[in-house]
């Protein structure tokens, strides 16, 4: 008998039939004697529909309103899943983020979980309930509803698993596990049986949409074993955990692609100490995640500063940097939302010098121009033209022999 946290994404609860299937799967586990906490996302395209309504009313809605609106999506899912379980004769209780004791800071739309008060959760589990928790949401100290931003439901699930000391946390999704590459881009992509937290973290950060990097970070920090698997079949998926067997580590585990990267260049920024700090503090204050940053020396006493953000943050980013124009006296802002980031990830990379060079050569041979480069110990990322992304990913997947299982 185990305590398991399971998370079902929007596709897995996208229709009445799929909610019924999830309920059956939970019933099976419950019959086996497991204690279950289930985190669900909003049904299919609910969030998109709500955002569409919102943007028709206000192109830049206040984030408190945004959270108030979006948090309803998960609330619908938990109520419906609980109804399905009741119809099958199982005890269950549906809880909003607030009711589940998920406390966050007050950064609306991108809140961070600060604490989970597990008292209610434990009580409901003890009473024999399958406990269903709305993903993606929490409540701040002022009782304001917050949402956790992208991939928030994964983070909810992992944080609950950590707080409840669950045996593991299963992330049920619409793919069979973590692949060497997105199978829609490279049909030869192979499923990985296991992967280390660090590799998963890089892959997740780099646009492999299976898991959100924040959730992997929390899992790593609290040692929560993740099991990424399909909600549509019973095949074993990919285990994400501390991988100790260093000798057997692959040089490159996967190729990732983020097609939502947007590039912003501040032209001719005066070359003075503190300028970069001013720019990126302002973006931080606006809760914008900056990814790659490069600074080119320009003629004279100025630099061009280029960085990338998620395309959805582009308008907000331009607003934020334009406010700095008077203070910093730069020449102008140029944006490009026609870029993509391709990356190779592998824990064995640091012991194999020349891996980055091999990547650059491969891209050059494929006729792909590299606009920006960023590296860490276990990954190399290149920003390229968006329409060349698929070509680049295929070439890299082949170069590093990932189609061989």
Residue ranges in contact with a copy of itself by CB under 8 A = 16, 19-20, 50, 53-54, 56-59, 61-62, 64-66, 68-69, 71-72, 75-76, 78-80, 82-84, 86-87, 93-94, 96, 98-99, 143-145
Q: How far is the CB of 83 from a copy of itself (least distance, A)?
A: 4
Q: What residues contact 209, with CB distance under 8 A and at least 6 apart?
A: none
Q: Report the residue number, 57 or 234, with the smaller CB distance to a copy of itself.
A: 57
Q: Report the residue number, 45 or 209, with the smaller CB distance to a copy of itself.
A: 45
254 three-state secondary structure: strand
Q: Report the residue number, 68 or 287, with the smaller CB distance to a copy of itself.
A: 68
- Distance set, CA 58 to CA 61, 65, 148, 317 (Å): 5, 11, 21, 18
Q: How far is the CB of 321 from a copy of itself (least distance, A)?
A: 23
Q: Report the residue number, 135 or 177, with the smaller CB distance to a copy of itself.
A: 135
Q: How far is the CB of 123 from a copy of itself (least distance, A)?
A: 11
HSE on the CB side for 159, CA within 13 Å? 30
Is residue 229 within 8 Å of 237, Cβ to Cβ?
yes
Q: How far is the CB of 59 from a copy of itself (least distance, A)?
A: 8
Phi, psi torsion values for 194, nearest 5 degrees: -150, 165
Q: How far is the CB of 68 from a copy of itself (least distance, A)?
A: 4
Backbone region of residue 385 per phi and psi (left: phi > 0; alpha: psi in -120 to 50; beta: other values): beta
Q: Report the residue number, 28 or 60, with the smaller CB distance to a copy of itself.
A: 60
Q: How far is the CB of 262 from a copy of itself (least distance, A)?
A: 24
Q: What residues contact 52, with CB distance under 8 A and at least 6 apart?
A: none
Q: How far is the CB of 122 from a copy of itself (least distance, A)?
A: 16
Q: Report the residue number, 50 or 373, with the smaller CB distance to a copy of itself.
A: 50
Q: How far is the CB of 341 from a copy of itself (least distance, A)?
A: 32
DSSP sequence for 268-337: EEE--TTHHHHHHHHHHHTTPPEEEEEEEE-STTEEEEEEEEEGGGHHHHHHHHHTTHHHH---EEEEE-
Residue written as tokens 């860490």? 376
Give buried/exposed letters for 10-29 (b at 16+ CB in 10 A, else e). bbbbbeeebbbbbbebbbeb
In whole angstroms, give the CA distance from residue 71 to residue 152. 11
Q: Report the residue number, 45 or 64, with the smaller CB distance to a copy of itself.
A: 64
Q: How far is the CB of 318 from a copy of itself (least distance, A)?
A: 19
In whole angstroms, give the CA distance from residue 33 to residue 21. 19
Report the side by side order of strands in the sheet with 145-147. 113-116, 102-104, 137-139, 145-147
Q: Report the residue number, 76 or 293, with the smaller CB distance to a copy of itself.
A: 76
Q: Report the residue number, 50 or 356, with the smaller CB distance to a copy of itself.
A: 50
Is residue 257 within 8 Å of 379, Cβ to Cβ?
no
């Amino acid at each position: 008998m185990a305590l398991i946290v399971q998370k079902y994404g929007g596709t897995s609860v996208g229709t009445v039939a799929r909610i019924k299937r999830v309920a059956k799967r939970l019933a099976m586990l419950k019959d086996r004697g497991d204690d279950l906490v289930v985190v669900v996302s909003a049904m299919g395209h609910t969030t998109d529909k709500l955002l569409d309504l919102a943007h028709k009313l206000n192109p830049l809605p206040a984030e408190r309103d945004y959270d108030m609106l979006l948090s309803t999506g998960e609330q619908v899912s938990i109520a419906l899943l609980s109804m399905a379980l009741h119809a099958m004769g199982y005890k269950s209780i549906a809880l909003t983020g607030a009711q589940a004791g998920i406390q966050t800071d007050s950064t609306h739309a991108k809140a961070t979980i600060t604490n989970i008060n597990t008292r209610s959760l434990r009580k409901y589990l003890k009473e024999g309930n399958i406990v269903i928790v709305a993903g993606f949401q929490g409540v701040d100290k002022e009782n304001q509803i917050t949402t956790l931003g992208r991939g928030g439901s994964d983070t909810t699930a992992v944080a609950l698993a950590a707080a409840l000391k669950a045996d593991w946390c299963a992330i049920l999704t619409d793919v069979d596990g973590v692949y060497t590459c997105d199978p829609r881009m490279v049909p030869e992509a192979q499923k990985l049986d296991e992967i280390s937290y660090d590799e998963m973290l890089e892959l997740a950060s780099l646009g492999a949409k299976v898991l959100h990097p924040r959730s992997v970070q929390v899992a790593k920090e609290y040692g929560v074993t993740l099991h990424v698997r399909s909600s549509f079949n019973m095949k074993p998926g990919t285990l994400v955990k501390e991988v100790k067997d260093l000798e057997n580590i692959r040089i490159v585990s996967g190729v990732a692609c983020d097609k939502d990267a947007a590039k912003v260049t501040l032209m001719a920024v005066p070359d003075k100490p503190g300028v970069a700090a001013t720019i990126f503090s302002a973006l931080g204050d606006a809760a914008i995640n900056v990814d790659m940053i490069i600074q080119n020396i320009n003629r004279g006493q100025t630099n061009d500063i280029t960085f990338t953000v998620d395309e959805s943050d582009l308008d907000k980013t331009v607003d934020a940097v334009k406010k700095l124009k008077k203070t910093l006296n730069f020449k102008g802002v140029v944006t490009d939302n026609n870029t993509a980031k391709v990356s190779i990830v592998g824990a064995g990379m640091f012991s194999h010098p020349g891996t980055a060079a091999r990547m650059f050569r491969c891209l050059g041979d494929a006729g792909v121009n590299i606009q920006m480069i960023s590296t860490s110990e276990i990954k190399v990322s290149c920003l390229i033209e968006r329409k060349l992304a698929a070509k680049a990913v295929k070439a890299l997947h082949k170069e590093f022999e990932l189609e061989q299982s």
